[in-house]
């Protein structure tokens, strides 16, 4: 067994235009001051990170790593949630997602998709340059508008969607394999890969690609009423990243999983700061330790009530207190009788 690394912090929800959240130097100092040992980097945020430069300049990557380490944190992973989303976009969401893309490809779905693929490859190369072996993203979605089977889905619709999704991702996964980087899809509503079954549907279509892996975030499973602890047993070999995020699901006589188009505060299912929701993190961290997860425990602050700075600061202590320093010995080693094979045979009555 190995002790999980952490705590780390995903910077996407904290980055901003005001100090200390507006530069790489100041935000990494702030994260370390909160008690974090690592940071996960949103690759699209130019205030903190230059993706194209990181993919082409080893000296720039060394500078980033050096500043972070001087301030007391490591770079744990890069994120391309926004770019990955654009690898596959159903036309119903074209306008909603256009803002994720570079201005020159907005309004042109074909150019936007090509840009997104190139962004993914740049991020994989940048990860390699930074000495990082795991990378987090979204899968994008072609079938999501048809998640509820009414009207009845025509035969083959979902198969066609997943065939196309795999076709678009295969070159990225192959590039990741060349770079020695795992692509970890965050299993997330709004993506075609939103639970274990859909992950397996995709995995099958990319021929069980070694670089096709998973980011585990129990909050998304609470809101789907999915067994989030058992999920670790099923996918331990594919879980390469871990977001520590809490959630609660409180159905009423008027509202359930779908949320009634309400705001986050008024939904039955809500994201909460760590410890304020329903995730049993004692069980989660125990299971992750037992399954030999050797990555980082990364806090992703998303809460409909608490201020992000408070949630982030409290999150560092929460994760630190939940990380299990795994034992190197068995608790009953003191009673070891020091027997041998011949003694074993005698104890079993074997001559």
What pLDDT digit, counting tens, does each position of 249-260 carry? 999 999 999 999
Q: State the pairing for strand pair 246-249/269-272.
A: antiparallel
Query: CA 219, 230, 144, 242 torsion: positive or negative?
Result: positive
pLDDT of 345 reads: 87
**Is the pLDDT confidence value at 234 over 70?**
yes
What pLDDT digit, counting tens, does each position of 10-60 carry? 999 999 999 999 999 999 999 999 999 999 999 999 999 999 999 999 999
Q: Quick one: which of 72, 70, 77, 3 has its CA closest to 35?
A: 72
Q: How confident is the model at residue 341 (pLDDT cuts 50, 70, 90)?
A: confident
**Is the pLDDT confidence value at 163 over 90?**
yes
**Is the pLDDT confidence value at 298 over 80?**
yes
Q: Quick one: which of 182, 90, 82 has its CA closest to 138?
A: 82
Distance CA 326, CA 255 (A): 42
Distance CA 268, CA 17 (A): 32
What pLDDT digit, counting tens, does each position of 75-96 carry? 999 999 999 999 999 999 999 9
The model's pTM is: 0.95
**Is the pLDDT confidence value at 186 over 80?**
yes
Q: State the pairing for strand pair 239-244/246-249.
A: unpaired
CATH for 91: 3.20.20.150
Question: What integer is the mean pLDDT of 238-256?
Answer: 98
What pLDDT digit, counting tens, does each position of 59-73 carry? 999 999 999 999 999
- Domain extent at residue 183: 5-347
**Is the pLDDT confidence value at 132 over 90?**
yes
pLDDT of 343 reads: 84
- Structural domains counted in the chain: 1
Question: What integer is the mean pLDDT of 165-169?
Answer: 98
Question: What integer is the mean pLDDT of 164-191?
Answer: 98
Q: How confident is the model at residue 331 (pLDDT cuts 50, 70, 90)?
A: confident
């Amino acid at each position: 067994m190995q002790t999980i690394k952490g705590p780390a912090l995903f910077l996407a929800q904290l980055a901003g235009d005001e100090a200390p959240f507006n530069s790489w130097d100041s935000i990494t100092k702030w994260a370390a001051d909160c008690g974090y040992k690592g940071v996960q980097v949103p690759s699209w945020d130019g205030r903190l990170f230059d993706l194209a430069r990181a993919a082409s300049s080893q000296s720039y990557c060394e500078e980033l790593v050096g500043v972070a380490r001087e301030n007391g944190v490591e770079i744990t992973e890069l994120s391309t949630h926004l770019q990955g989303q654009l690898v596959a976009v159903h036309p119903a969401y074209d306008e909603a997602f256009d803002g994720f893309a570079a201005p020159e490809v907005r309004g042109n779905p074909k150019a936007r998709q090509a840009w997104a693929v190139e962004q993914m490859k740049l991020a994989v190369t940048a990860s390699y340059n930074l000495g990082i072996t795991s990378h987090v993203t979204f899968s994008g979605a072609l079938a999501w508008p048809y998640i509820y089977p009414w009207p009845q889905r025509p035969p083959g619709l979902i198969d066609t969607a997943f065939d196309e999704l795999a076709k678009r991702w295969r070159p990225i996964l192959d590039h990741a394999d060349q770079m020695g980087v795992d692509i970890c899809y965050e299993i997330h509503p709004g993506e075609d890969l939103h639970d274990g079954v859909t992950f397996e549907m995709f995995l099958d279509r990319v021929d069980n690609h070694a670089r096709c892996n998973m980011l585990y975030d129990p909050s998304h499973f609470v809101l789907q009423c999915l067994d989030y602890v058992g999920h670790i047993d099923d996918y331990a070999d594919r879980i390469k990243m871990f977001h520590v995020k809490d959630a609660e699901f409180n159905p009423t006589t008027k509202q359930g999983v779908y949320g009634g188009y309400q705001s986050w505060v008024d939904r039955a299912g809500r994201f909460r700061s760590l410890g304020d929701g329903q995730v049993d993190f004692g069980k989660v961290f125990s299971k992750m330790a037992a399954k030999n997860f050797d990555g980082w425990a990364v806090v992703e602050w998303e809460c409909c009530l608490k201020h992000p700075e408070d949630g982030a600061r409290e999150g560092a202590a929460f994760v630190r207190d939940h990380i299990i320093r795994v034992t190197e010995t068995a608790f009953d080693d003191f009673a070891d009788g020091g027997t041998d094979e011949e003694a074993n045979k005698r104890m079993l009555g074997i001559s």
